[in-house]
Amino acid sequence: MRVVFISTDIKIFDSESQVHERFLAYTKVLGDVHVIVHAPAHAGQSKQSIGSLHLYPTNTNHKISFFGKARRLVAQIEKQQHIDVITAQDPFETGIVAAYAAKKWQIPLHVQVHADIGSPYFATSLFQKIRKIVGMKVLQRADSIRVVSNSIAAFLQQREIAVEKIAVIPLVSHIQEDHTKIQKEQFCSASDRLFLMASRFTKEKHIDMAIDAFAAIWKEKAAGHLVIIGEGPLEENYKEHVAQLHMTAHVTLLPWQKNITAYMRVADIFVLTSLYEGYGRTLVEAAAMATPIITTNVGCAEDVVKNSENGMIVPVDDLQALKEVIKLGMDEEVCEQWKMGAQNKSLEIKKSQHVQTYIQTCTDNIKQVTHL
């Protein structure tokens, strides 16, 4: 079998990365695997072949040049031997290339959806609105669609995409526990509540809402400490925001850590305030660490959090609701109840995070496209 992936994940060129290992595992099930990667020219990548895995960087800096180079690479692969399936990492830029190739060479089209394109917060700019329109056209042409959450599947069904085309396959988080000793007392007293966030510092993560919620709570009563681990373009904005609210003693920003599980184990509650998520990997990691969770209703939230059992789900972009639930989590009895529920959820999550099962499920989903 010959399968072509159109991807944007440049980590596949790192032989020690989990992405590279996963694609090598795909070859054992699928056979001949070719991966065309939207890699920028400055990354300096070159074509690689490792057994049946073949990697092709486009070495392009702009989307237009990516489209042209990726199409030419697909043509080269097809000329050597007919492609059995072409799969795109998303229905947008990589999906356009895959849909073009599928139509030109009559190849079954498989498309993956990791973004919550049904969220009203996904397409707020003109560029995103155009991407969404194009993405929906690609999905309507797809022979098979893999989504990472039930909420995305429900949205596609509402848009009259046949349910039999859609497979819900959540991501596997490759959870590696960090046993570094982190002391809660580094941030607050042992009796106080320690809240943790771990995120990219970008607009859609809506971290400023969590900062505002804590500032409002501290105006009412002195309680709780928030640690935010991350990096991104809004880092300086958040630092200034914390300072303007006079919360520097109660909100700590730390640089991104490769493994945040040590912080999750010491935290009393993990917080996520995103406007939208395709999946929400950190929710799974927090649940695996038996950490109670307060999250907006995005991505896999409803699959990971059961209200009043191991945390609470709040509406998206609702500052008042977030504030009230954080205050609820500061109650000792409530927090202990959530921690008990989190212990049970941890066992369930760890059982579901089986990498080999995930690889088999993903490859079976791709293979079945040829039988449609």
Residue 217's CATH number: 3.40.50.2000
Half-sphere exposure of 360 (CA within 13 A, CB side): 5
Same domain, 35 and 123: yes
pLDDT for residue 259: 77
Residues 168 and 200 both lie in one domain: no
Per the CB < 8 A criterion, the answer to whether 115 and 90 are in contact is yes
Q: Are residues 339 and 360 in the same domain?
A: no
Q: Is residue 366 part of a domain?
A: yes
Residue 161 in domain: yes
- Total domains, the chain: 2
**Position 316 in a domain:** yes
Residue 153 lies in a domain: yes
> Which pLDDT tens digit goes with each residue over 11-35?
999 998 989 999 999 999 999 999 9
Asked whether residue 179 is domain-assigned, the answer is no
Residue 195 CA to residue 232 CA, distance in Å, equals: 20
Same domain for 147 and 287, yes or no, is: no
Let me know whether 217 and 277 are in one domain.
yes
252 and 155 belong to one structural domain: no
372 pLDDT tier (thresholds 50, 70, 90): low
Q: Are 317 and 248 in contact (CB under 8 A)?
A: no
Q: How confident is the model at residue 115 (pLDDT cuts 50, 70, 90)?
A: very high
Q: Between 180 and 27, whose confidence is greater?
A: 27
* Domain shared by 95 and 167, yes or no: yes
- Residue 38 maps to a domain: yes
> Which of 286, 282, 232, 284 minimizes the C-alpha distance to 255?
232
Instruction: Give the confidence band of 171 by pLDDT, cuts at 50, 70, 90.
Output: confident
Distance of alpha carbon 129 from alpha carbon 336, whole angstroms: 44
pLDDT at 353 over 70: no
pTM for the model stands at 0.86
Least Cα distance to 224 among 268, 272, 192 occurs for 192
The 8-class DSSP code of residue 370 comes to G
> Per the structure block, which two tokens stand in for 368?
């079945």
Q: Does residue 174 carry a pLDDT above 90?
A: no
- Give the structural domain span for 134: 2-172+354-371
Look at residue 348 in the predicted model and tell me its pLDDT.
Answer: 85
pLDDT band at 45 (very low <50, low <70, confident <90, very high): very high
Q: Are residues 22 and 162 in the same domain?
A: yes
pLDDT confidence tier of residue 181, bands split at 50, 70 and 90? confident
> Are residues 289 and 226 both part of a single domain?
yes
Are 17 and 354 in contact, with CB atoms under 8 Å apart?
no
* Domain contains 137: yes
343 and 364 share one domain: no
Residues 6+ apart with CB under 8 A from 64: none
Are 14 and 159 found together in one domain?
yes
Do 193 and 140 belong to one domain?
no
Note whether residue 84 is domain-resident: yes
